[in-house]
Amino acid sequence: MLELVELTKDYRNKPRAVDDVTLRLEAGVLGLLGPNGAGKSSLMRIAATVTRPTRGRVLFDGVDVVARPDVLRRTLGYLPQDFGVHPHLTAVEFLSYLAAVKGLSRRSARRRIPELLELVNLSAAAKRPLGGYSGGMLRRVGIAQALLADPRVIVVDEPTAGLDPQERVRFRTLLSDLASDKVVVLSTHIVSDLETVTDDIAVLAGGRLVHRGSLDRLLGAVAGQVWEMTVAPADVARVQAGHVVTRLIRTSSGVRVRVLAPSPPSPRAEPATPDIEDAYLGLVR
């Protein structure tokens, strides 16, 4: 079990990044959502023992890892949002270096690295210098390094940024397989990524936890408040000024607008079934 208890993080001359957040996590995937500046990355860095909270505790199986970070680091896989590599090393060389840092034996590393490169679809590029990799390929190297030591806790920040749709599906499948016996914390801006991997969602806004629960509970918060209507292109700005607009689709007959509102925003508006993006925007806005 990983427990984040009453965590607060302050930075000098900046608004509070994390404000009294408590989360208790067991095996499975927790999807962490929030707008830019909500405090997600700060919370992830605290959970990964990269930075210390101003106040609060992080407990792993009952041990306070703020005071004893090595207890968690030995069994942690972490992919930060800004993941750097050595451009002159190949993927095999880079992962071998990180395996040594993590304390894996050479024998274990020689067995584990090809498995991971196959898992993230990089076997064909394993001996190419990382400086020639695309952004999506580098992200896959980052995913592989997070899994090197077969961790019990996996913390990944925007793991699918830069991945194409096929790679995102591959990664979601991988996360689902891993989560049966591991604690996985997944922070993302891609709301649709969460629908297929977890039913446990937390939403941060302004550093505070504004939702923790199932997808059904999240959707229930905007039940009866989602509407769709078609308007002329010239009227889109007016609708956006008066309502929370979650989607715009241009059609041959005008612009199909999806709106959050407690009552119909127009006599022409039709009720729509809420989805996760509607619920998320309703919470954070």
Residues 71, 203, single domain; the answer is yes
Residues 50, 143, single domain; the answer is yes
Q: Count of domains in the chain?
A: 2
Residues 213, 259, single domain; the answer is no
Q: What is the DSSP string of the chain?
A: -EEEEEEEE--TTS--SEEEEEEEE-SEEEEEE--TTSSHHHHHHHHTTSS--SEEEEEETTEETTT-THHHHTTEEEE-SS----TTSBHHHHHHHHHHHTT--HHHHHHHHHHHHHHTT-GGGTTSBGGG--HHHHHHHHHHHHTTT--SEEEEESTTTT--HHHHHHHHHHHHHHTTSSEEEEE-S-THHHHTT-S-EEEEETTEEEEEE-HHHHHHTTTT-EEEEEE-GGGHHHHHHHSEEEEEEEETTEEEEEEE-SS-SSTT-EE----HHHHHHHHH-
Quick: pLDDT tens for 120-167.
889 999 999 999 998 888 988 998 999 998 899 999 988 877 778 888
Residues 174, 139, single domain; the answer is yes
pLDDT of 4: 96
Q: Tell me the CATH number at 99.
A: 3.40.50.300
Indicate the pLDDT class of residue 212, thresholds 50, 70 and 90.
very high
Residue 189 has pLDDT above 80, yes or no: no
pLDDT of 165: 83
pLDDT of 263: 92
pLDDT of 175: 81
Measured CA to CA, the distance from residue 190 to residue 167 in angstroms comes to 14
Angle at 276 (CA atoms; ends 273, 280), nearest 5 degrees: 120
Model confidence, pTM: 0.84
Residues 40, 99, single domain; the answer is yes
Q: Which of 204, 219, 234 is the last residue of a domain?
A: 219
Residue 179 has pLDDT above 90, yes or no: no
Indicate the pLDDT class of residue 35, thresholds 50, 70 and 90.
confident
pLDDT of 84: 84
Residues 41, 165, single domain; the answer is yes
Q: What percent of the chain lies above the pLDDT cut of 90?
A: 58
Q: Which of 196, 219, 242 is the last residue of a domain?
A: 219
| Domain enclosing residue 250, as ranges | 222-284
Q: Which residue has the tokens 């699918």?
A: 160
pLDDT of 234: 92
Measured CA to CA, the distance from residue 255 to residue 232 in angstroms comes to 6
Residue 226 has pLDDT above 90, yes or no: yes
Q: Which has more pLDDT, 164 or 40? A: 40
Q: What percent of the chain lies above the pLDDT cut of 70?
A: 100
Residues 167, 52, single domain; the answer is yes
Counting every residue written for the chain, the total comes to: 285
Residues 94, 213, single domain; the answer is yes
Residues 264, 148, single domain; the answer is no
Q: Which of 219, 236, 259 is the last residue of a domain?
A: 219
Q: Which has more pLDDT, 195 or 242? A: 242
pLDDT of 68: 94
pLDDT of 8: 96
pLDDT of 55: 95
Residues 257, 138, single domain; the answer is no
Residues 278, 214, single domain; the answer is no
Q: Which has more pLDDT, 277 or 57? A: 57
Number of neighbours of residue 57 by Cβ within 10 angstroms: 15
pLDDT of 202: 94
- Integer CA distances (angstroms), 83 to 32, 140, 185, 217, in order: 19, 11, 17, 34
Quick: pLDDT tens for 68-114.
999 999 899 998 888 888 999 999 999 999 999 888 899 999 999 99
Residues 61, 132, single domain; the answer is yes
Tell me what the pLDDT averaged over the chain comes to.
Answer: 90
